[in-house]
Structures are given as C-alpha cells and as structure tokens.
Amino acid sequence: MGAGKAFVSSDCKMTNYIFILLGAVLVNNVVLVRILGLCPFMGVSKKLETALGMGAATTFVLTLGCGTSFVIDHWLLLPNDLEYLRTLSFIVTIAAIVQLTELVIQKTSPVLHQVLGIYLPLITTNCAVLGIPLLNISLRHNFMESLLFGFGSSVGFSLALVLFAGLRERLEGAEIPTYFRGNPIALITGGLMSLAFMGFAGLDKFR
Amino acid sequence: MTALRQLFRFHGGVKPAYNKEPSTTQPIADFYALAPLPAEFVIPLHQSIGGVPHPLVAAGEQVKKGQLIGAPDGYVSSAVHAATSGTVKAVEMRLMPHTSGLSALCVVIAPDGKDEWIERQPVPWRAMAPDEVRDALRDAGVVGLGGAVFPTYLKVNPGKKGKLDTLVINGAECEPFITCDDMQMREQAEKVVRGAAILRDLTQAGQVLIGIEDNKPEAIAAMQAAVTQTGEAKIEIVPVPTRYPAGGAKQLIRVLTGIEVPHGKRSTDYGVQCFNTGTACATYEALELGQPLISRVVTVAGNVLRPRNFVVRFGTPMKDVVALCGPKPDSDRLIMGGPMMGFAMPADTVPVVKATNCILVGSKALFPPPPPEMPCIRCGECAKVCPSDLAPFEMYWFSRAKLFGKAQEYHLFDCIECGCCAYVCPSRIPLVDYYRFAKSEIWAREQEKSAADEARERYEFRMLREEREKQEKAAKLAAKAAETKAKLAAAATPEDAAKKALIAAAMERAQQATQNPPAPPADNAEAPPAPPAQQTPS
Amino acid sequence: MIAAILVMALGAVVLGAALGYASIKFKVEGDPLVEKIDAILPQTQCGQCGFPGCKPYAEAIAKGEADINCCPPGGEEGIRKLADLLGREFKPLSEEHGVEKPKSVAFIDENTCIGCTLCMQACPVDAIVGAAKQMHTIVPKLCTGCELCLEPCPVDCITMVPIPETVANWKWKYPTFAIKKVTA
C-alpha cells in the first residue's frame, strides 16, 4: 500500500494499478476485511436482484465520489490549509453526488432507477463511501489511483454483497433452528465469509 | 436400414426392474368376452386435457354404443361417447380416477345387454379438408393414449412450415409393468401402421419413425412385418435402447432425431411431432372404421395372479377388470399408470378412462410405503439421472421452502415428473411430490393473478363508465336546461311583444282619443315625436 | 477561519445550485410504485381496507398513509409480498379490517330476489346481470367475493358460497409423513 510513489517507470505503473485494483477487490475487501459499509451489507442482501442494484449504485457513486473528493482535497482544501474540513466537505459532496445521480437517473433511465430504486439515497449513509475517499488521502494516492481504488473497493463491496445475497436466498430455504433464523444466521454467515476472505491475505503482493 | 440409423442419447435416465414379461404371456383379451357387462358404466365427461365436455343426454334417455354423450367444449377439448347401448341412469357427480378423491360429472349408463352400435361409417378423410378431418377426430374423441390424454386433433397439424420433417410414433413404453402398447403392436400391428400412415399423410411428414424399446423384440418384428405387408412408404421401425424414460416425448425425439427441444419451445417448431402407438391405432379406427374411441388396451399387473392385457371400454369399474386377474389377498390399493409415474386411486370402484394405460395392483410387500425422508445431502445423483437436464435438488430445495418463484427459475415446468430423481435419491426424498405441489401452487397463483387482472380491468371500466354516465347526465341536464330556457325565452318574446304592442296600441288610442278631436290633420307632423316620450313609462 | 467559512459557503452554494437546477430540470411525474403495489393487491375492490378500492389503497401505501396489513382478501401472502416489495417488516393482518376467509362467490336466491337493482349498483366489477323488476343473477366467474352486494339487498337474498374444490382446481398437498410410534 502506498507504494505507488515508489514506482516511476510507466510499465511499473500499470502493475501498480492492477495491484491497487485487485488489492481493493479481494485482499482488502471493504466489507469483509476493512469491515466498512456493514449496514447495506446486512440490510440489502435479502435478494440477489436488490444486491446487484445496490452494488451497481454504490460502484457508480463511490468511483465518482473518489474523483471529486480528490479534486476538492487537492485544489480547495490543501492550498488553503483546511485539511481539518475533509470529513465535513466530503460528506457534503457525496450527499450531493448521490442526490444528483438519483435525479439524473430517474429522468434519463427509469429502468435503471427502478432497479436501483430506494438504494440510491441509502448510499449517503454508507460509511464505505466516506471511508474510501479518506483512505485515499491517507494512502497518498494520486488522481488515477484514487479512482481505481474507489472503483476496486466498490467492486469488492458489490462482490461481497452479491455473494452474501446468494447465500441468504439459499438460507431462506434451509431448515434453521428457530432462534437462528433471520439476522443471527446471516451474521454467522457473514462472519464465515469474512474468515474466508482472509485467505486472500496470502496474496502478499497485493497488500 | 435400421442398423444404419444413427441414434442419440438423452441425458440421464434409469434402469428399473421392468417386470413386463408376466403380462405378455397371454394375448389381449376382450374383457366383455370373459366377464358380463358391468351393472353400470360410469363415463366421466372430463377425460382429456382442456375444457369439460358438456353432457348431451339426460337421465332416462336411450343411448346406443358409440353415441356422442359429451360434446367438446372450447378449443382444447374432446368428445365422449357411450360405451354400450342402454339407458342413461343419471348424469351426476361420481368419484373420479384421480388422486384427489373428488367427484366430477359422469354419465351413468345401465346397459340393455344388446350392445348395439350406432351406424358406423368410414370417414372419407382423403377427400376432406384438413380442418374437417381434425373436427372428425375431435368428435371421435381421439386423445393421446400414452397417458397425457391431450386431444389428438390439435396435434394433427403440419405446423408453421406447412409440413413436418419427422413424425415420431412412440412405442417405447418405458415404464415398468405396462405392456399395453407392446401387446397392441404385436397383435394389431397393421392397424398401428395404417394409423401411422394416416397421421403421416395428415401432417405431411417427410418420414415416420416408430421408436420401440429393444426389450420388445416381438413387437418390433410384428411391426416390421406389418410395414412390409402394408407397403406403406417412409415408415421405419427403429429399435431404441431400453432406458427409462425413453418413452417421454422429448426424450424419444432426442433419441431418434438428435433434436433437443429447448425450454419454452415445441417440437413442432423443429418439424417434429410425436404420437403414441395407441393413438395411431385409435386414429385408424376413427377414420377408417368410423368407430369413436370408447375402449382401449389396459394392462392389469402387479399383485395379481394372472397379469394380462384387456380391451376395456371407458366407464367399466377398475374393480371388475382387476377381479379377472385374481388379485392376491394382500392387495391394498390400485395405481393408475406405472410404478414411476402412476397415481394411487381413491377407491377400486373408479372407472377406466382414456388415460388408464395400466391398472397396477399394489400391496405393502410389492410397493412398500415410502420410508421417512432424510435431509438432502446434495450428492447430485438426481441431476445425473434427470432426463430433462434439470437440477432436481435445487428445485426440491425451493419447492420445499415454498419459494416458488425461485423453483420456477430452475425451470420447474420443464420437469416431466418421470420420477428418476426420486428413484435414485439416497435420502429417499419424494422429489416428484414436491414438484407436483409446487406446480399446482404456481398454477393456482397464476389463475388468481389473471382473475385479479380481469377484476381490475372490469373495475376500471366500471369507473370509466360511471364517470362517462355522470358526464353524459350532466351534459343532458345542461342541454335540457338550456333548451327550456331558450323555449321560455322564445315563448316569452312574442307574447311580451304582443302585450307591449297591445298596451302601446291602447295608449296610443287613448292619447289619440284625448288629442285627436282638437288636433287638426296638419298637427300630425308634430305629433309623432310626442308618443314615444309618453310611452316610456309603460 | 475566514477561508474555512468561505470554502464551505462556496461548496454549499455550488452544490445547492447544482441540485436545485437538477431538481427542476429532471423532474419526473407519476409514481411507478403505485402500479407495483396495485399488481399485488387482489383486486376484489371490497373496500375492507377503508379505501374505496384497490388502487386508492395502493396509492395510500405508496404515500405511506396506510399500513400494508389492511387487506383481508390478500391475506398473509399478500402482506408478505408487499413487505418484500417495500422492504418493510411483515405484520399479521390487522384485525379491525377483517379476517382472512376462504374464497367465496356471492349467490342470489332467485326465488327471493325482487329485482331492485341495488346489488347491481353496488357491484364493483359488474358481475351481476339483471334489470329492474327482473330476477338478478351473479356470474360466478367474474365475482371477486367482495361482499359489497350483501348490505344493499333489501330482502337479504344474497349469500356467500365458498368455492368448492373440484378436480380442476385441486392442488397437490405438501408432502408429509405420518409419524409412527416405534414399538420397543
């Protein structure tokens, strides 16, 4: 992590980008390893379709949010020594992006809006969406890396969400002891998934 | 020729114990030659897929053998005929040969013993238009005798292309114990071949493939001989490997032609149609002999001393047929169909119907009650044997949890309920029972949904109509009000004018009376301006 | 300090202006949710929910004015579907709106009917045939079993008849096993 600056030559840059992308998707999966964005992970994982919709919406917003927050940080906050306003300004920006996205999608593509539906506004409260831009800053990513890291993380989020939703759909048909039905068994399953994803830590290069 | 034909394999399948020999040792017997006519024939009106035929006879009426007693109702439906001559005792609800144990409308005929046919005349089908031939088949009550009882006339159709490539005649008869098609092919091969030829001509098929499982060498030989003897062209007897369910329509089509009919498509889309051998025979009898479908070959097997095939007329109680074969004392139930796909009958008094290819007598020893179901261990054996290439364990998982939408996503409705999955399941899960449950629930829901849609439409139309009526009423009222107003105005004006004129005239006269005597005619020139000034107050 | 206020104010103004512009520019009319809810409702138009029909109830649910458990004909399954669609928790049927009954259709006793046409006016789906001073009858295929015709009938000649089970509508039962006592 943060090794981006060390690479100078262009072909190394490509490798670096791939490392960032894969690292964000698998090794440092935002939900299962960083334990960020658990509310949608538990909340919108009951059905595969909605999980896919949420994943797509988050991917869109998070990638856009990473780019915008990088611009704000570098052009507005850093020149004015206002680093302490990062959290505040990022939240405001992301909320605005989410709102804007929703309005635009609703008008331009009603079908997509129906798929993403009520999940778009929910993204505002997804801590991963704030966490990733902040991580971008602390990892000293440049603009391209920020975008890739944001994209990778949200793909990782979608992956975890979709896998989990698939499991939960199946759990619905399973014979589970009464007291474990619903959220308890989902939490246990989520925990096991988290353990499984720790296995990717073995991909040392991507860390 | 047969050896040269390349055969294909369908996925999965099982090889259960066939148990076919015992019922093939004796020729087909006419039931009524061995036993007296039953006291009454109970002929259900609903014997085919589709609409319930409506009764054409009432209690007390005399009917002849083969007389139409139930007229087809709707596009998908088939006629029903009297099984013997006699008196209609009643048209009433009787117990159906159906797992539910429910009753349905039946025509009960008390035979008069004369067994007198209606006038039978061959149908000149070669000279008739295709639609007329189809109507003749419908009115003769010909349905698929393989067990699905789908009205045959709907299938006798050259398809979109105008002609079929291949007509498959299904003589595979893959289910254990059942030998009715086998015996019919052995003894009535000529009729079957001639029937196949009629179907070939009606569908304008390029070739006819009669698929027979290779465990019926006698039937294959007899059919081969019949083809040679009749000299019918383009008909080929094809022995197919014995593997259950080779007799499934899609499976046999796959084996003979290599065509795998995909999900949501029909075999006719690929130029292939499939009929049972019994259906071919019934088609021959209906068209060439003018004989409606009132009987069929029924195998009686299982827990009986003398298993055998009989020609039984529809409406005969199963009990009577079974009695001829000597049921063993420990028999406890009758199954219509074979051990894989058959249904237990609610009572032994239910009548033989068009779908009855076999009456299987069961006992605890022969078909032990199903052992308790164990959890699914996801071994995948069911998927290995599924002839429809489905994932039975997934369909089971979601059907059991009543998640019907998910079960449908795994193509539950492509399941032919052959029972292979349940046959191999090491956890002894009655998988097919779950599929049947899920299917009927989904059907019921879909019906409810379409009923709701219709209700919504009607409600919205009513709202629209009420709104329109209101507006029309308002418009009418407004028009009426305007009309009366106009009438009033119109009526009022001439009256008022007349009154005014009268008053004015009277005033003028009065004025003239006061002014005229002194006024000279010369004053008249000044007079006109005066009257208006005086008239104003009036 | 001033810079911080300025930056935040600038951000607020820019984002506010963008959002304000977008909300005018990309305004959408109508609510597709109502259609979806209406599709789940059983369309009996019985009014047991307290709304004059299924569509008004669907609109009320979409607006959040009505709860999802006010529809007795839809039953538990209907509530489950609504809960699924709206991402709400399942609730048992609210008792004040009625109880789930077996599906029935109305039946007019033709000997008692005086031909007053009141039931025809009450029927939301036009399932009653008849004319003034003529005997009325109900088309069972179209009747939704809403019971709205029972109340207006002055001679109480309408009864609700449960739909009988026939071979055509019979359903396969859920596979069960009899539990046997094991003899020791």
**pLDDT tens, B513-522?**
666 555 444 4
For residue C44, the chain B residues in CB contact (below 8 A) are 455
Most confident of the following: A54-58, B46-50, B290-294: B290-294
Is residue B466 scored above 60 in pLDDT?
A: yes
Per-residue three-class SS string for B133-148? HHHHHHHCCCECCCCC
Both C45 and C90 in one domain: the answer is yes
Answer yes or no: do B456 and C54 touch at CB < 8 A.
yes
Alpha-carbon distances, residue B7 vs B86, B256, B257, B258 (angstroms): 51, 6, 7, 7
Query: What is the domain-level CATH number for residue C40?
Result: 1.10.15.40
Helices B180-187 & B189-203 angle (0-180, nearest 10)? 100
Q: Give the strand order in the sheet containing B62-63.
A: B41-44, B103-111, B86-95, B62-63
The span from the CA of B44 to the CA of B96, in Å, is 7
Answer yes or no: do B397 and A170 touch at CB < 8 A.
yes
The verdict on residue C52 lying in a domain is yes
Residue A176: closest C-alpha in chain B:
B401
Q: Which of 43-62 (A) contact C at CB < 8 A? A: 47
Answer yes or no: do C11 and A100 touch at CB < 8 A.
no
The span from the CA of B241 to the CA of B222, in Å, is 18
Residues B475-479 have a mean pLDDT of 92
Both C123 and C87 in one domain: the answer is no
Residue B447: closest C-alpha in chain C:
C169
- Candidates B104, B433, B456; nearest CB to C167: B104
Domain stops at, among C41, C69, C97: C97
Both C141 and C161 in one domain: the answer is yes
**The pLDDT value given to residue A162:** 94
Q: Which of B459, B461, B468 to mutate to probe the C interface, most C CBs <10 Å?
A: B459
User: Which tens digit of pLDDT belongs to each residue from B56-89?
Assistant: 999 999 999 999 999 998 888 999 999 999 999 9
Residue type, B356: T
Q: Which of 21-40 (C) contact A at CB < 8 A? A: 22-23, 25-28, 32
- Candidates A77, A92, A103; nearest CB to C23: A103
C9 has a chain A CB within 8 A of its CB: no
Nearest CA distance, A100 vs chain C (angstrom) = 6
B375 has a chain A CB within 8 A of its CB: yes
For chain C of 184 residues, list the mean pLDDT of each consecutive stretch of 10.
Answer: 86 89 77 81 87 88 86 88 80 84 88 89 89 88 88 90 86 79 65
Is residue A53 scored above 90 in pLDDT?
A: no
**The pLDDT value given to residue B380:** 93
Nearest CA distance, A198 vs chain B (angstrom) = 27
Answer yes or no: do A173 and B375 touch at CB < 8 A.
no
For residue B458, the chain C residues in CB contact (below 8 A) are 125-127, 142
Nearest CA distance, C54 vs chain A (angstrom) = 22
Angle at CA of residue A25, ends A21 and A31, nearest 5°: 140
Residue B401: closest C-alpha in chain A:
A173
For residue B375, the chain A residues in CB contact (below 8 A) are 175
Answer yes or no: do C26 and A107 touch at CB < 8 A.
yes
**The pLDDT value given to residue A69:** 92
- Two structure tokens written together for A44: 């919108």
For residue B447, the chain C residues in CB contact (below 8 A) are 169
The span from the CA of B456 to the CA of A46, in Å, is 31
Is residue B529 scored above 50 in pLDDT?
A: no
Close Cβ partners of B472 (under 8 Å, ≥ 6 residues apart): none
In chain B, the domains with their CATH numbers are 21-35+121-362 (3.40.50.11540), 374-483 (no CATH)
For residue B415, the chain C residues in CB contact (below 8 A) are none
Higher pLDDT, B441 or C28: B441
Closest Cα to residue B275, out of B177, B351, B358, B164? B164
The verdict on residue C175 lying in a domain is no
**The pLDDT value given to residue C30:** 63
Is residue A83 scored above 70 in pLDDT?
A: yes
For residue B406, the chain A residues in CB contact (below 8 A) are 169, 173
Residues B405-414 have a mean pLDDT of 92
Interface of C with B (CB under 8 A): 38, 41-45, 53-54, 124-127, 142, 144, 165-175, 177
The span from the CA of B356 to the CA of B318, in Å, is 10
A12 has a chain C CB within 8 A of its CB: no
Spell out the long-range contacts of B432-437 with Cβ–Cβ below 8 A and sequence spacing 24 or more. B433/C172, B433/C175, B434/B395, B434/B396, B434/B399, B434/B400, B434/C175, B435/B395, B435/B396, B435/B399, B436/C172, B437/B399, B437/C171, B437/C172, B437/C173, B437/C174, B437/C175
Quote the DSSP letter at residue A75: I
Answer yes or no: do A173 and B397 touch at CB < 8 A.
yes
Answer yes or no: do C7 and A76 touch at CB < 8 A.
yes
The pLDDT-based confidence of B44 (bands split at 50, 70, 90) is: very high
The span from the CA of B235 to the CA of B195, in Å, is 11
Higher pLDDT, B512 or B73: B73
**The pLDDT value given to residue B3:** 52
Residue B397: closest C-alpha in chain A:
A173
For residue A169, the chain B residues in CB contact (below 8 A) are 406
Number of H helices, E strands in chain C: 5, 4
Say whether B470 sits in a helix, a strand or coil. Answer: helix
The span from the CA of B308 to the CA of B325, in Å, is 7
Say whether C129 sits in a helix, a strand or coil. Answer: strand
**The pLDDT value given to residue C167:** 83
Residue B405: closest C-alpha in chain A:
A169
Is residue A164 scored above 50 in pLDDT?
A: yes
Alpha-carbon distances, residue B107 vs A93, A206, B37, B52, B82 (angstroms): 79, 80, 16, 13, 8
For residue B441, the chain C residues in CB contact (below 8 A) are 171
For residue B443, the chain C residues in CB contact (below 8 A) are 171
Nearest CA distance, A173 vs chain B (angstrom) = 5
Give the neighbours of chain A: at least 3 Cβ pairs within 8 Å: B, C
Greatest Cα-to-Cα distance within chain B, rounded to the nearest angstrom: 147
For residue C80, the chain A residues in CB contact (below 8 A) are none
Spell out the long-range contacts of A44-48 with Cβ–Cβ below 8 A and sequence spacing 24 or more. A44/A119, A44/A122, A44/A161, A44/A165, A45/A161, A45/A164, A45/A165, A45/A168, A45/A186, A46/A165, A46/A168, A46/A169, A47/A165, A47/A169, A47/C84, A48/A162, A48/A165, A48/A166, A48/A169
Q: Which of B374, B396, B406 to mutate to probe the A interface, most A CBs <10 Å?
A: B406
Count of domains in chain C?
A: 2
Close Cβ partners of B260 (under 8 Å, ≥ 6 residues apart): B250, B254
Is residue B524 scored above 60 in pLDDT?
A: no
Both C121 and C150 in one domain: the answer is yes
Alpha-carbon distances, residue A158 vs A44, A55, A62, A102, B51 (angstroms): 11, 4, 11, 19, 50
Is residue B528 scored above 50 in pLDDT?
A: no
On whether the CB atoms of residues C119 and C153 are closer than 8 A, the answer is yes
- C115 dihedral zone (left: phi>0; alpha: psi -120 to 50; beta): left
What is the residue-wise DSSP string for B263-330? TT--GGGGTEEEEEHHHHHHHHHHHHS-----EEEEEEEESBSS-EEEEEETT-BHHHHHHTT-B-TT
Say whether B206 sits in a helix, a strand or coil. Answer: coil
Residue in the structure block whose two tokens are 């005649």: B169
Give the neighbours of chain B: at least 3 Cβ pairs within 8 Å: A, C
- Two structure tokens written together for B111: 């035979």
- Inter-chain Cβ pairs, chain A and chain B, closer than 8 A: 12
Answer yes or no: do C170 and B451 touch at CB < 8 A.
no
- Which range marks the domain in which residue C51 is found? 32-97
Cβ–Cβ contacts within 10 Å for residue C108, how many? 20
Sign of CA pseudo-dihedral B212, B218, B221, B225: negative
Alpha-carbon distances, residue C66 vs A103, B523, C86, C91 (angstroms): 26, 92, 13, 13
Give the neighbours of chain C: at least 3 Cβ pairs within 8 Å: A, B
**Average per-residue pLDDT for chain B:** 89
Answer yes or no: do B437 and C168 touch at CB < 8 A.
no
Query: What is the domain-level CATH number for residue C141?
Result: 3.30.70.20
Percent of chain B with pLDDT over 70: 93
B403 has a chain A CB within 8 A of its CB: yes
The span from the CA of B276 to the CA of B265, in Å, is 20
The verdict on residue C134 lying in a domain is yes
The span from the CA of A150 to the CA of A136, in Å, is 8
On whether the CB atoms of residues B345 and B311 are closer than 8 A, the answer is no
Helices A143-172 & A127-138 angle (0-180, nearest 10)? 150
The span from the CA of B202 to the CA of B191, in Å, is 16
Residues A85-102 have a mean pLDDT of 88
Close Cβ partners of B358 (under 8 Å, ≥ 6 residues apart): B175, B177, B178, B180, B298, B299, B300, B301, B336, B337, B338, B342
Percent of chain B with pLDDT over 90: 68
On whether the CB atoms of residues B79 and B72 are closer than 8 A, the answer is yes
Backbone phi, then psi, for B479, in 5-degree steps? Answer: -65, -40
The verdict on residue C12 lying in a domain is no
Q: Which of A48, A49, A170 to mutate to probe the B interface, most B CBs <10 Å?
A: A170
Close Cβ partners of B479 (under 8 Å, ≥ 6 residues apart): none
Answer yes or no: do B375 and A175 touch at CB < 8 A.
yes
User: Which tens digit of pLDDT belongs to each residue from B332-346?
Assistant: 999 999 999 999 999
Both C160 and C110 in one domain: the answer is yes
Alpha-carbon distances, residue B272 vs A202, B152, C69 (angstroms): 57, 15, 51
C12 has a chain A CB within 8 A of its CB: yes
Q: Give the strand order in the sheet containing B68-71.
A: B54-55, B68-71, B80-81
User: Which tens digit of pLDDT belongs to each residue from A36-51?
Assistant: 988 888 888 888 888 8
Helices B180-187 & B277-288 angle (0-180, nearest 10)? 50
